[in-house]
Structures are given as structure tokens and as C-alpha cells.
Amino acid sequence: MPHISLRLIAPFIVLATAAPAAAKDKEAPPRPTQIQELYNCRDIADSAARLACFDREVGELQAADTKRDITFADRETVKKTRRGLFGFTLPSLGLFGGDGDEDQIKSIDTTVASSSQVDGGRYRITMADGSVWIQIDDRRMALAPRPGQKIQIKTASLGSYFLSLEGRPSIRVRRER
């Protein structure tokens, strides 16, 4: 049996044990002060004081909402927002729910609104949702994209995406706006 040096495998052991630890250490973003103060009202034993606390804190929460100091979004709104931002690289702020793989959008299906050729025979394609994608590879498309055609865009590597027009071979694109 061959002898394997501990120096050779030590970095792999460190990496293997660090990844799960890093995932566990990832905490949810802090709860807004207005929400926490409202939750704290539940701990008041005296009914009249608890009710006064709830009334006061709900008023504070409503004022913050009116001034747009705090915003509420349900899961469906977050999902639509994520879809609208598909293709942009944004910092992980925890604003749109979790940042785990289960929350990430891997592809979108849409249709062409318009397209035009730009330098080198590449395409700039505007989608029905208003997003604009530009071809970044030199692959030639047999037919130009036409309004109404179905498109699927999937995540690729290094911040790029694959765009497939009605199931044809993919081209590499990036989101322009």
C-alpha cells in the first residue's frame, strides 16, 4: 500500500471540513428594529401594558412603512423580483430571501420583443419583459431572432448565460439591461 504524506492531503481535509462549517455560520439578516420591538410586546405579562405596547409598535411600524423606511414583500413578490433581476450580478444582501441554491433562478423562458445585429454579426435581443441581452460569443445563428419566438436563458459560467432560441444550439450572452 503506498504511503501518502499528511502534508499532501492536509489542505483537502481543511477544505472538506471548512465548507459545512461556513454554511452553518451563515446567519439570517438581522430583523428590522420595528419588527423586533413589536415581537417584544408579547413578553409583557400585564394585559393593558401589552395592548398599549402592541398599539404603539404597530403605529411605529405603520409610520416606517409609510415613509418607506421598511418594506414588506411576500414570497411571490420576491420571486418576481428575482426573475426580473435574472442576469445581473448583485451582492448577497439577503434582501430577496435565502441565497441558497434552492432560491436561485437557474433559467427563464421568455419571448423575443425585438433584435438587431451589432458589431461582428452578434445580436442584441430585447425580451418581452424589457430585459436586453447581448451575444458575447462568435457563434453564428442560422436565422435571426424574430418577435414572438420563444427563448430560454440558462446560467453558464463566469457570469455569462446560454440563450437558446426555440431549442436551437445555444449562444453565450450577458445581460445588458
Question: What is the dihedral angle through the alpha carbons of 70, 73, 78, 80, rounded to the nearest 10 degrees?
Answer: -110
Contact, 70 vs 37, CB < 8 A? no
Q: Tell me: the pLDDT tens digits for 20-68?
A: 444 445 566 678 888 888 999 999 999 999 999 999 999 988 988 889 8
Other C-beta atoms closer than 10 Å to the C-beta of 131 total 21
Four-residue CA torsion sign, 12, 16, 17, 22: positive
Question: What is the dihedral angle through the alpha carbons of 121, 127, 132, 134, rounded to the nearest 10 degrees?
Answer: -30
Question: Per-domain residue ranges for the chain?
Answer: 106-175
What is the chain's pLDDT, residue by residue, as a tens digit (177 residues)?
Answer: 444 444 444 444 444 444 444 444 556 667 888 888 899 999 999 999 999 999 999 998 898 888 988 877 777 777 677 666 666 655 454 554 554 445 567 888 899 999 998 888 899 999 998 999 999 998 888 788 999 999 999 988 777 799 998 878 889 998 888
